[in-house]
Chain A
């Protein structure tokens, strides 16, 4: 009971909260002190989570603790419990890494804003609530953390009140987010009325006996609540608005960390507590929701003109992948979902941070105005390309490995059940992946390549303090992509085994006799599923060879041609391009000079004009559908709620 290791999860949550309060107290006057406190408060949870890796992932322990030492009395949980199994720690690690990275990034990125002690207070409270959500073993505590998370995220979204649309985005987020919180609260109330407990382990233990229509409705409400927090279709519009208007550091938190809380909730709910995942109807429901988010949001992203808005839509699309994989209901699918959740956190974090760097350097995020920044910000460009390659699923980056795993899981599932539905899901995912690649070609063309607008002539690379966090994420993107087998063995297999092992989850918390009496059976020994037969090393060698070849060709190119090419470049400082010519070429001037070269960047919205023209009816419908009116979004949410509750009562109960 009193072993210090059992207290580490609580310490990591409380360090974040304590940091927030101390910054609120002393951060106003002393900036240096504030930054030191921020680093300590964001660093300690990361260290504590890393300490927990060994006992939880390698020795397969479950860390439990009862607050105040209030242990269960005759099989009933009377206190608040903290239960950290491999699934919780998997998400806890993700949160800790991202919080630390975002904290380091914020110190430079936010240095042009004022009232920063409020920013850091809210940021650390947001981090603490997310951490508390994934480590808690108590349903009501999860609700409290969800509330703190939503409210602080709303406040942070509107932090730059002068940014166009910031207050509006925060308002939409508040309304739809509150719908989600209300759903969770309703679910908790219904569940408590039936089972008289709030402890997750005990709910799992009571459910086989206490299962009835009310608990099925409670399941529907809880599922909807977490789906709202994941911003699944059709709850996605505020998630597209909020990261767009928030500072980039908060966009990272909202779209790559907060969505994972919802994913965690869905996994915990469907696999550990209610154990409904063997019902085909629930698999259909989750897969359809995931596939719809995946496809609709990727097409919406295709149409965007704002860098961060495009990334935000992609974020929902990628989370749709994760949810699809979770909905498959087999061990490989769950592993694939967790893997993609981790990868999405890393690469979406990286992409939002590069967007923040572009905004920091240029003051604009408009895809139609930017262009040619690769010459001015080569490092940011390289980082962006790593992120874009990861999200589009190019080998050897991490997106490829996890998407491959999702396809494999879907086909395995289809083969095992001879159900054509899972093949369709897989094809939708593949199609979305292609569209993702296309829209990232568009972003890279309209932000980093193409012509540099005269407006951004004086753009400078962002400071190193902003680059280091981005490089850190980029390295993680590559490391997690190159060693999928090791990832599977060390992180994913224990996490998915623990998610499916309700027997152990109840037994560790409430005692093995309680678990045995509950009627929950231990699952068969979990063997790590083998993932796809592809060798990342071969792909890296291929990539290196191609890179070398390209370098060779460009280095050995004819210097005269290069000179000629330079002439056709953009006019600098509004001088005619002809001034750059040397004397040798000047004699042909009267024949070849033609017109003065002008700035004619192909805007991001014009790149795939043919494709967009052919699908104009679809895009028009989708555009009308995303009306930007919060009343509409609430109605979509209500419609989805009614459908899911009816579906649960008809098919899952």
Chain B
């Protein structure tokens, strides 16, 4: 704990509570996008809010220890590729583009998978954007005296 700034204890405590919530709630919205309000975009943004929470509670240094910009960027590309490939499966199967080919009628059908791909993409994209924006007004140096376990644990939860 001592590794990061001492003063914002209240904020950090709140963040500790909210971080898992933000991740789980966001994932819930993504996975239930096909049957309830919400969907990939909204849920992805909710999960990406973890970046902001980590920044508020633990500062810019923890942010860069927790999230890798390169990883987020690759995730974004992977999500896009998954989306297009699922849509293209219809053509490869001899029907039309975007055809409901994967498990039709099942809870895991094409549209659900595509929705999940959108969620993954938005999550990685918005998180990457926030990371870029927040790094522009970073404090010059953060106090570092203690081990960063808590921040990393919280951050991983958010990045899921």
A interface, CB within 8 angstroms of B: 1-2, 4, 6-7, 10-11, 14, 17-18, 21-22, 24-25, 65-69
Q: Which of B78, B80, B85, B95 has the most CB of A within 10 A?
A: B80
- What 0/1 readout, one digit per residue, does chain B (71-83) give for beta carbons within 8 Å of chain A? 0011011101100
Bound: A483/B5 CA distance, A: 76
Take A7-B91, A24-B73 as given contacts and tell me if A66 and B80 are in contact as well, using a CB distance cutoff of 8 Å: no
A14 x B76 contact (CB < 8 A)? no
B80 x A21 contact (CB < 8 A)? yes
Bound: A24/B85 CA distance, A: 16
Interface residues of B in 77-131 (CB under 8 A from A): 77-78, 80-81, 84-85, 87-88, 90-91, 94-100
B78 x A25 contact (CB < 8 A)? yes
Bound: A11/B74 CA distance, A: 24
Bound: A18/B76 CA distance, A: 13
A7 x B96 contact (CB < 8 A)? yes
Q: Which of A18, A22, A65, A68 has the most CB of B within 10 A?
A: A68
Q: Which of A2, A6, A18, A69 contacts B81 (CB 8 A)?
A: A18
Distance in Å from the Cβ of A128 to the closest Cβ of chain B?
10
Bound: A6/B80 CA distance, A: 24
Interface residues of B in 123-156 (CB under 8 A from A): none
B95 x A21 contact (CB < 8 A)? no
B100 x A68 contact (CB < 8 A)? yes
Chain A residue nearest in CB terms to B82? A21
Q: Which residues of B have CB within 8 Å of A65?
A: 96-97
B84 x A17 contact (CB < 8 A)? yes
Bound: A25/B85 CA distance, A: 15
B96 x A21 contact (CB < 8 A)? no
Q: With A1-B96, A25-B74 given, name 6 new contacts (CB 8 A).
A: A4-B94, A11-B91, A18-B88, A24-B77, A68-B90, A69-B90
B77 x A68 contact (CB < 8 A)? no
A68 x B74 contact (CB < 8 A)? no
Q: Which residues of B have CB within 8 Å of A2?
A: 94-96
Take A6-B96, A68-B98, A69-B99 as given contacts and tell me if A22 and B81 are in contact as well, using a CB distance cutoff of 8 Å: yes
Chain A residue nearest in CB terms to B80? A21
The 6 closest A-B pairs by CB, nearest first: A25-B77, A68-B98, A24-B77, A21-B80, A10-B97, A67-B98
B81 x A21 contact (CB < 8 A)? yes
Take A17-B84, A18-B84, A21-B81 as given contacts and tell me if A67 and B97 are in contact as well, using a CB distance cutoff of 8 Å: yes
- The B interface, classified by DSSP as helix, strand, loop or mixed, is helix
Interface residues of B in 6-39 (CB under 8 A from A): none
Distance in Å from the Cβ of A22 to the closest Cβ of chain B?
6
Q: Which residues of B have CB within 8 Å of A11?
A: 88, 91
8 contacts between A and B (CB under 8 A): A1-B95, A2-B96, A4-B94, A14-B97, A17-B80, A17-B84, A24-B80, A66-B96
Q: Which residues of B have CB within 8 Å of A4?
A: 91, 94
- The A interface, classified by DSSP as helix, strand, loop or mixed, is helix
Chain B residue nearest in CB terms to A71? B96
Chain A residue nearest in CB terms to B96? A69
Q: Which residues of A have CB within 8 Å of B95?
A: 1-2, 69
Chain B residue nearest in CB terms to A20? B80
Q: Which residues of B have CB within 8 Å of A22?
A: 77, 81
A25 x B96 contact (CB < 8 A)? no
B88 x A14 contact (CB < 8 A)? yes
Distance in Å from the Cβ of B4 to the closest Cβ of chain A?
31
Q: Which residues of A have CB within 8 Å of B100?
A: 68-69
Q: Which of A6, A11, A25 has the most CB of B within 10 A?
A: A25
Chain A residue nearest in CB terms to B75? A25
Bound: A437/B78 CA distance, A: 50
A7 x B97 contact (CB < 8 A)? yes
Distance in Å from the Cβ of B138 to the closest Cβ of chain A?
21
Distance in Å from the Cβ of A68 to the closest Cβ of chain B?
4
Chain B residue nearest in CB terms to A8? B91
Take A17-B84, A18-B81, A68-B100 as given contacts and tell me if A10 and B76 are in contact as well, using a CB distance cutoff of 8 Å: no
A21 x B77 contact (CB < 8 A)? yes
Bound: A66/B74 CA distance, A: 32
Chain B residue nearest in CB terms to A23? B77
A68 x B80 contact (CB < 8 A)? no
Q: Which residues of B have CB within 8 Å of A6?
A: 96
Bound: A2/B85 CA distance, A: 18
Chain B residue nearest in CB terms to A6? B96
Q: Which residues of A have CB within 8 Å of B90?
A: 68-69
Distance in Å from the Cβ of A20 to the closest Cβ of chain B?
8
Distance in Å from the Cβ of B45 to the closest Cβ of chain A?
19
Distance in Å from the Cβ of A300 to the closest Cβ of chain B?
38
Chain B residue nearest in CB terms to A1? B96
Q: Which residues of A have CB within 8 Å of B96?
A: 1-2, 6-7, 65-69
Distance in Å from the Cβ of B36 to the closest Cβ of chain A?
21
Q: Which residues of A have CB within 8 Å of B76?
A: 24
Bound: A66/B73 CA distance, A: 32
Bound: A25/B95 CA distance, A: 29
Q: Which of B81, B88, B99 contacts A25 (CB 8 A)?
A: B81
Bound: A147/B36 CA distance, A: 28
A14 x B77 contact (CB < 8 A)? no
Distance in Å from the Cβ of B80 to the closest Cβ of chain A?
4
Distance in Å from the Cβ of B69 to the closest Cβ of chain A?
12
Distance in Å from the Cβ of A486 to the closest Cβ of chain B?
34
Distance in Å from the Cβ of B137 to the closest Cβ of chain A?
20
Bound: A24/B91 CA distance, A: 24
Q: Which residues of A have CB within 8 Å of B94?
A: 2, 4
Chain A residue nearest in CB terms to B90? A68
Distance in Å from the Cβ of B118 to the closest Cβ of chain A?
14
Distance in Å from the Cβ of A624 to the closest Cβ of chain B?
38
Q: Which residues of B have CB within 8 Å of A25?
A: 74, 77-78, 81
Chain A residue nearest in CB terms to B79? A21
Bound: A557/B126 CA distance, A: 72
Q: Which residues of B have CB within 8 Å of A14?
A: 84, 87-88, 97
Chain B residue nearest in CB terms to A26? B77
Bound: A343/B78 CA distance, A: 39
